[in-house]
Amino acid sequence: MTATRDAIGLRAAALSILAGREPDRTRLQRCTAATWQLFFRTERCALALKSRLAAAGWAVPDRVRAEIERAATRELQRILSARGQLLRIGRLATAQAIPAIVLKGGVAALASAAPVDLHDVDVLALPPDAERLAALLGVAALASAAPVDLHDVDVLALPPDAERLAALLDQEGFHSTGPAGTAHLAQRIAPNAVHIEVHFALNDVELTDAMWHRARPLDGAVGLSRLGAADHLWLLLVHSVVTHPHRRGALRDVLLIAEALGDCSAGELQQVERLMAGHPLSQRLRDVVAMARELRDGVPVQDRFRREAVANYVLRGPLGWLGYSRFWTVAFVRTLFSQLGSAVERRREWATAWNRPDFVSPWEFAARLERRAPRLGRLCRNAVKVTRLMVCQVVAWPVAVAVRVLAPSPAPPPSSSPL
């Protein structure tokens, strides 16, 4: 558990740096390469750290600088790859008159001033030249927007248009992998590039005509738009707090939210405040907004998600050998974070397991059974979900206990003020 404890210290130091406050160099120096890798796999903030350190002119030990540089280069490669993918999608959407909205981190990737075209991305994605060329581009060119890592890009289109756009990507040499989700088609992938998800809906956020009308064009990205400022902020909050509870307080997501806060007018902030007030997880939403606001304002940041961070370090460190299973891992992680969360979250988890699914199962056998015998298929599917939840709760309990020992409950933060 040494790496986990040291990663907690790195998180505290990173929060200071990202808020514009000088770091504790001793805490940075004592961490091993394995700890740095664990930290960056979880927090995905190396590029932002490098940018803040360079802007402030703070010296850090050479070994620390090398670890940050290595991770920042990988993040920069993915960001540039994402920009290339999005510019290609913009050209396809323009040619076919398909309205397309870039979601979440893709907005920050396109808002950067770093010059890149599609051919540059193809070259940058190929090792070993990728690391050298990405390093030459430097981080300063990305300083105009929140520099955050991306593993995929998300683009929203109307349901009929989403299928057309996915087909156009297939004609461009992409191919689909994995099942479709409840809000997006199967991922489109190509060699040496970040994945693409074409959405026709939004998870846990109702997509309305008003949201489409509030969308605005993205500068320098022909054929692509972004959500209105309030809608963009709300989607980021819901995505990182509700849809993916393991990402609560992750520094990459907090940075994105801090950038989105600065883009909102007073009226738009009030609109998001009303949405938060009416949500069952309003306190968790307010907590992440409070952290983002503290980072943005350069004041000491109270880590309201230290326990969630520790859980992620444990999952990627001591429990990293478990690997990934779409059937078990997602359910286990959700159960673990609901145990670390509130009674509201645990009730929601049971309700989800018992509720009748409103989408076709991604598993072919289950989908076939539901088509032939709908009532029996749904009953079997609910039984599997409930049984899986019971098993996950038993397995997650000792992990949750270990996390609580490593990260005792902090003092309650002051009440979050309205946006």
Quick one: 123 and 254 in the same domain? yes
The overall average pLDDT reported for the chain is 85
* 290 plus 371 within the same structural domain: no
Domain for residue 413, yes or no?
A: no
- Number of Cα atoms under 13 Å in the Cβ half of residue 265: 3
Give a yes or no: residue 78 inside a domain.
yes
Q: Once rounded to an integer, what is the mean pLDDT over residues 326-343?
A: 87
Specify the DSSP class assigned to residue 30: T
Specify whether 160 is located in the same domain as 273. yes
Model pLDDT, residue 294: 96
- Calpha distance 155→162 (Å, rounded): 9
Structure tokens that stand for 204 in this block = 């846990």
Query: Is residue 298 domain-shared with residue 353, that is, in the same domain?
Result: no
- Whether the per-residue pLDDT at 108 is higher than 70: the answer is yes
Q: What mean pLDDT comes out for the span 71-99?
A: 95
Residues 227-270 have pLDDT tens digits of 999 999 999 999 999 999 999 999 999 999 999 999 999 999 99
Q: From CA 73, how far away is CA 77, in angstroms rounded?
A: 6
Query: What are the pLDDT digits (tens) for 381-411?
Result: 778 888 989 999 999 999 999 999 998 866 5
Same-domain pairing of 320 and 304: no
Query: Containing H/E element for 175?
Result: strand 175-177
In a domain, 192, yes or no: yes
Cα(132)–Cα(339) distance, integer angstroms:
44
Residue 142: predicted pLDDT:
36
Beta strands (DSSP E) in 241-371 are none
Question: Domain containing 151 — which CATH number?
Answer: 3.30.460.40
Q: In this structure, are 261 and 356 located in the same domain?
A: no
* Largest Cα–Cα separation, the chain: 66
Q: Is the pLDDT of residue 143 over 60?
A: no
What pLDDT score does 144 carry?
38
Do 331 and 376 belong to one domain?
Answer: yes
- The Cα 51–Cα 114 span in angstroms is 14
- Domain ends where: 315, 343, 368? 315
pLDDT score of 145 = 47
Quick check: is 419 in a domain?
A: no
101 has a pLDDT exceeding 70: yes
| Tens digits of residue pLDDT in 163-186 | 999 999 999 999 998 888 889 999
Pseudo-torsion of CA 369, 374, 375, 378, nearest 10°?
60
Asked if residue 243 and residue 146 are part of one domain, the reply reads yes
Look at residue 284 and tell me if it is in a domain: yes
Last residue of a domain, one of 315, 345, 361: 315
For residues 174 and 188, give the distance between their C-alpha atoms in angstroms, rounded to a whole number: 6
Residues 308 and 340 in one domain: no
* Domain endpoint, select from 291, 315, 339: 315
Q: Indicate the number of domains in the chain.
A: 2
Examine the domain organization and report whether 210 and 89 are in the same domain: yes
Report pLDDT digits (tens) over 278-322.
999 999 999 999 999 999 999 999 999 999 999 999 999 888 877
Domain coverage including residue 289? 2-315
